[in-house]
């Protein structure tokens, strides 16, 4: 996901080993408090069967499609005189306002739950919302956008490594093949092999790109995390937007991120429209809706499969740029999109 265009202990009887295996899967862990860790076996919640995962893939594709509009709306604002940081700040801040009502309705006065889940929500906002975008924008200031995006989406590989190191989920051949195919497809989609696409490597830019990859991995891991008490997706996304907006706004006021706004009209579908159209699209569709759907999908699919489905964002971004900005995709990009979809299918087949 290129987020910048680019997760009351209930005491229960200790289960028998057989029961634990049925509840948590091959690698899930049950602590002596009766809480089940649901980051095992791709981080699924343990509540969804094959039909639930099918719904999760559908929701994940909706999230990827929504995230894919961010490039089109963001580019229109930047071309009209906005700085990237200003567009991101507007995106996150307006999304926080839009999500306030649905989040409060979903919370239903359970403020204690929000307090108990404060640290995961703060981490989600700091890393999954703010850090992703700050690191990405620092990367693209020093290297081509395509290379920065490829580095950021190495986050899916980091998730596989994390699940192997933390939960003993050694990647099997289908996952390895799916990962290689998806990353190869991503490189084709971004035209990294085209003439003049890479003119030297900036080490500082690579570091920022890798930090964006870590942030993306943390976003999916936190989104997929389910404990005895879990915030509704709308509340999780809202809290993340509030924290992320505060951080990005603070960095802007401190001069670490340049903030330049403009009231000039923007160009969409070949027509001049108000800048409000792009801001609302960027915040309502590409942030509020995208993040809520993304958290919901990750909880059904787990961090690993959810992150691979999220790579479809690049495919949707190319299609939206074609439809709204008249940027015609090439045959190579279509081939890359097919490879990404093949990679997702292989990873899905590797799931039990």
- Residue 287 is classified by DSSP as I
For Cα atoms 132, 136, 141, give the angle at the middle one, nearest 5 degrees.
155
pLDDT of residue 203: 77
Is the pLDDT assigned to residue 148 strictly greater than 60?
Answer: yes
| DSSP track, 107-169 | HTT-HHHHHHTHHHHHHIIIIIIIIHHHHHHHHHTTS-HHHHHHHHTTHHHHHHHHHHHHH--
Highest mean pLDDT among 187-191, 202-206, 288-292: 288-292
| pTM confidence score | 0.74
pLDDT digits (tens, 9 = 90+) for 47-81: 455 666 788 889 989 998 898 888 788 888 988 99
Beta-bridge partner residues of 30: 36
User: For residues 93 and 71, what is the distance between their CA atoms, to the nearest angstrom?
Assistant: 18
| DSSP track, 19-61 | HHHHHHTTT--B-TTSPBP--HHHH--SS--HHHHHHHHHHHH
Q: Specify the higher pLDDT residue, 236 or 147.
A: 236
pLDDT digits (tens, 9 = 90+) for 298-339: 888 888 788 888 877 777 877 777 777 666 777 787 788 778
User: For residues 43 and 102, what is the distance between their CA atoms, to the nearest angstrom?
Assistant: 26
pLDDT of residue 283: 95
- Residue 228 is classified by DSSP as S
User: For residues 307 and 214, what is the distance between their CA atoms, to the nearest angstrom?
Assistant: 12
pLDDT of residue 51: 64
Domain boundaries, the chain: 48-349
User: For residues 69 and 269, what is the distance between their CA atoms, to the nearest angstrom?
Assistant: 13
Phi, psi of 323 (to 5 degrees): -75, -40
Is the pLDDT assigned to residue 165 strictly greater than 90?
Answer: no
User: For residues 244 and 126, what is the distance between their CA atoms, to the nearest angstrom?
Assistant: 6
282, 285, 288, 290 alpha-carbon torsion, rounded to 10°: -110
Phi, psi of 165 (to 5 degrees): -70, -40
Mean pLDDT, the chain, integer: 78
Side-chain half-sphere CA neighbours of 332 within 13 A: 10
């Amino acid at each position: 996901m290129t987020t910048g265009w680019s997760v009351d202990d209930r005491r229960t009887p200790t289960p028998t080993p057989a029961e634990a295996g049925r509840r948590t899967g091959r690698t899930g862990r049950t602590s002596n408090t009766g809480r089940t860790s649901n980051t095992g076996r791709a981080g699924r919640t343990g509540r969804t069967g094959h039909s639930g995962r099918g719904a999760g893939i559908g929701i994940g594709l909706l999230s990827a499609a929504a995230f894919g509009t961010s490039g089109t709306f963001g580019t229109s604002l930047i071309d009209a005189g906005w700085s990237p940081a200003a567009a991101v700040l507007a995106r996150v801040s307006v999304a926080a306002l839009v999500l306030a009502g649905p989040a409060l309705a979903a919370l239903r006065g359970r403020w204690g739950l929000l307090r108990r889940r404060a640290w995961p929500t703060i981490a989600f906002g700091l890393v999954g919302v703010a850090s992703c975008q700050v690191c990405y924008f620092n990367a693209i200031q020093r290297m081509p956008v395509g290379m920065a995006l490829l580095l950021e989406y190495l986050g899916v590989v980091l998730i596989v490594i994390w699940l192997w190191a933390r939960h003993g989920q050694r990647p099997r051949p289908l996952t390895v093949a799916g990962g290689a195919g998806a990353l190869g497809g991503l490189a084709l989609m971004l035209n990294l092999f085209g003439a003049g696409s890479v003119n030297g490597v900036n080490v500082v830019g690579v570091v920022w790109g890798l930090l964006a990859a870590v942030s993306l991995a943390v976003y999916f891991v936190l989104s997929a995390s389910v404990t005895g008490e879990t915030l509704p997706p709308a509340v999780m996304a809202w809290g993340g937007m509030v924290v992320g907006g505060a951080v990005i706004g603070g960095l802007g006021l401190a001069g670490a991120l340049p903030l330049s706004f403009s009231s000039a009209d923007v160009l969409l579908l070949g027509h001049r429209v108000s800048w409000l159209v792009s801001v609302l699209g960027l915040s309502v569709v590409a942030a509020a809706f995208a993040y809520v759907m993304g958290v919901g999908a990750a909880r059904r699919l787990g961090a690993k499969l959810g992150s691979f489905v999220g790579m479809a964002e690049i495919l949707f971004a190319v299609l939206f740029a074609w439809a709204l900005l008249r940027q015609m995709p090439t045959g190579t990009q279509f081939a890359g999109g097919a490879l990404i979809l093949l990679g997702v299918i292989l990873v899905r087949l590797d799931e039990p």
